[in-house]
Amino acid sequence: MSPTTKRQALVVGASRGLGLALAHELVRRDWQVIATTRQESGELLAAAGAWAGQLEVETLEMTSSEQLESLRQRLTGHRLDLLFVNAAIDRGDLPIDRVPVGMFTEVMVTNALSPLRVLECLRTLLAPGGTVAVMSSEQGSVSLNTEDGYDLYKSSKAALNQLMRSYATRHAGDGHTTLLIDPGHNRTRLGGPDAPLSPQETIPAVVDVLEAQAGAPGLRFLDRHGETVPW
């Protein structure tokens, strides 16, 4: 844990949905939170105003190496107890043979490549024993892929999981807790209005998992209940 009186977290992708709920919940638990958004977010800015200095907002397009490096420089001197990457996109349910190359590239860059670039760029800000976490999905589980549909999204999350496995191997021994989190199917812009869960009921459980796992080194793929998700 960092030497400040409050635990410090950086949430990448917090303008709405799960990321916004995560920022709220961490602040409620007395964390000092820095939350990023691609463009101005009224909800996030309103939350920052309501929490009076406990929630700071930064702008980041995480697919931009230049913006990522600029953020790292602005955060020099911070010691994070949690670095959480939430951002992801979905481009619908096309069969993989009908997915345009540009769409495939966009989703893979956003959902798989960019989160790892964020971690590699910002991991030096983590305090000893800090936690690195990425929002994944059971949709990325190869062994659970038993229903047709959403080929591109599933493959992007599977790629994310594999890259996180490589990340954990590359940085084995750094003492950091490394987590892939499956939050379940939530009513967000990505999850759709008919999803069975809401961020308000899901995210407190996710934060329970983050706090329970803190200090346990190694990589784990866990759901919102702290149960292992099969690869």
pLDDT value of position 41: 67
Interior CA angle at 108 toward 119 and 227, to 5°?
Answer: 60
Tokens 């976490």 identify what position? 133
The DSSP bridge pattern shows strands 177-182 and 32-37 to be unpaired
User: How far apart are alpha carbons 199 and 214 in whole angstroms?
Assistant: 22
Interior CA angle at 94 toward 91 and 95, to 5°?
Answer: 140
Tokens 């983050």 identify what position? 210
**The domain 8-223 belongs to what CATH superfamily?**
NAD(P)-binding Rossmann-like Domain (3.40.50.720)
- Which residue ranges make up each domain of the chain? 8-223
User: How far apart are alpha carbons 52 and 47 in whole angstroms?
Assistant: 9
> Most distant CA pair in the chain: distance in Å?
53
Local confidence pLDDT in tens for the 231 residues of the chain: 444 478 999 999 998 899 999 999 999 999 999 999 987 767 888 888 888 789 999 999 999 999 999 999 999 999 999 999 997 899 989 999 999 999 999 999 999 999 999 999 999 999 999 999 999 999 999 999 999 999 999 999 999 999 999 999 999 999 999 999 999 887 777 777 777 788 899 999 999 999 999 999 999 999 999 999 999
Q: What is the DSSP letter of 230?
A: P
In single-letter form, the type of residue at position 191 comes to G
Which tokens belong to 83? 């670095």
pLDDT value of position 59: 94
The DSSP bridge pattern shows strands 177-182 and 126-135 to be parallel
Rg, the chain, Cα only: 17
Q: Are 151 and 94 in contact (CB under 8 A)?
A: yes
Residue 211: exposure state from Cβ atoms within 10 A (0-12, 13-18, ≥19): middle
Q: What is the DSSP letter of 197?
A: B
Going by C-alpha positions, the residue among 119, 91, 108 that lies closest to residue 12 is: 119
Report the Cα–Cα distance between both ends of the chain, in Å, rounded: 30
